[in-house]
Amino acid sequence: MISQIYFPSISTLAIGNPKHPSRYAIPVLRCFLSSFSNISPLHPRSLRSSSSGPMSFERIKVTNPIVEMDGDEMARVIWKSIKDKLVLPFLDLDIKYFDLGILNRDATNDQVTVESAEATLKYNVAIKCATITPDEGRVKEFNLKSMWRSPNGTIRNILNGTVFREPILITNIPRLVPGWAKPICIGRHAFGDQYRATDIVIKGPGKLKLIFEGKEEEVELEVFNFSAPGGVALSMYNTDESILAFAEASMNVAYLKKWPLYLSTKNTILKKYDGRFKDIFQELYEAKWKAKFESLGIWYEHRLIDDMVAYALKSDGGYVWACKNYDGDVLSDLLAQGFGSLGLMTSVLVCPDGRTIEAEAAHGTVTRHFRVHQKGGETSTNSIASIFAWTRGLAHRAKLDDNVRLLDFTEKLEAGCIRTVESGKMTKDLALILYGPNVTRDHYLNTVEFIDAVAAELRARLLANQSCEITL
């Protein structure tokens, strides 16, 4: 089971939204400070001078390691800035570092990707930067030995997990689908199907067959009889074990969130392939989850993918949507844009054991901004999804280790990030959503300025917390 625990800070009072206490929390004890003029507002053991700023904090000890997977291009640039300004100054953290930049993957024949996934299974928590998946152009650009597979695909196949993506809601960022008042958590089955398929270009007439050679049976099916000039063909698969893990993770997340769960397939066309997904989900639900769901007033339901898409657009949100691999790949981006921006989306791969996760940014490497950065130009790159990759990974580490201070830190960082945007400090992509063609340079911060603004908001929240502890 995936643990989901909230440890309330002694310095805050939840108001407005009980599901997100830290976001709507306010300091409640600072008002007492003026009554104690003989007490320093700064805790001598928790604060000390630093060359990076007027005050730094006693770093929070993180007992167990996390795996860091570095990435490429502009994503790598902001990743380092986040780590240097929002993580390392506050956490005493053992990081198992793997460089998944395209050049190092090429130098190691992609073995570094496999090793990073194996380390994730060992340490239970990985935090991943966006990476390049090479195409023909990238192979030529970097003079690669091979057109290496998607590192995300390699990692997901080793971890055999489900990717859950959920929007980061910010009050002043309008939604393209205004009816989505509540989040929609989309679960993508991150194994098999098109992503581990074998495809072929057929250049002439001939007969295509599907053959299975089993220990107890052999099956041979004629698929199609090609005439000139040929065509294309594809063979893909999935396993009962992986589908069951997908179903287990989806129902677990829905139960913890107390939201309904929907599975979408096209079982009317793929009667056996998609029908297997439908049957395994239903069997697991009846055997293990139905009573638990009903006790919370929630439910599980299978829907055809076309019907589910229509329902999603007219719904107000507030549910978990389990999708097959390709459907989840496409629809998670649709949901992200519908909620405001692909840069405002969390992405967490949850393994079947419920203990192992990989948190990542849902966007790409932001190549266009990187080209400007390489020339010394100013960029305004949205780092929110990358910040939340760090917070979601560290929050899971905190829950596994029962680390109250670490969990409180991650909540303050997320709340500080959201508050920074709500106060009007944002990157250009978000300013464009707000102001459209009327956007000016005064409406947004550059890449560095935004991360610095989040760091200032984080420090203010941590200082407020420590001031209240002194008063107590």
Q: Binding site: residue ranges?
A: 131-133, 138, 150-156, 165, 188, 306, 314, 329, 364-369, 382
Beta carbons of 134 and 148 less than 8 angstroms apart? yes
Residues within the annotated binding site for NADP(+)? 131-133, 138, 314, 364-369, 382
Beta carbons of 120 and 84 less than 8 angstroms apart? no
Cα–Cα dist 340/170, whole Å: 9
Residues within the annotated binding site for Mn(2+)? 306, 329
Q: Which two tokens stand for residue 254?
A: 């829905």
Residues within the annotated binding site for D-threo-isocitrate? 133, 150-156, 165, 188
Helix axes 447-471, 404-422, angle to 10 degrees: 130
CB atoms within 10 A of CB 291: 8
In the beta sheet, which residues pair with residue 347? 165, 360
In 3D, which of 80, 139, 148 has the Cα closest to residue 114?
148
In 3D, which of 323, 326, 325, 366 has the Cα closest to residue 342?
366
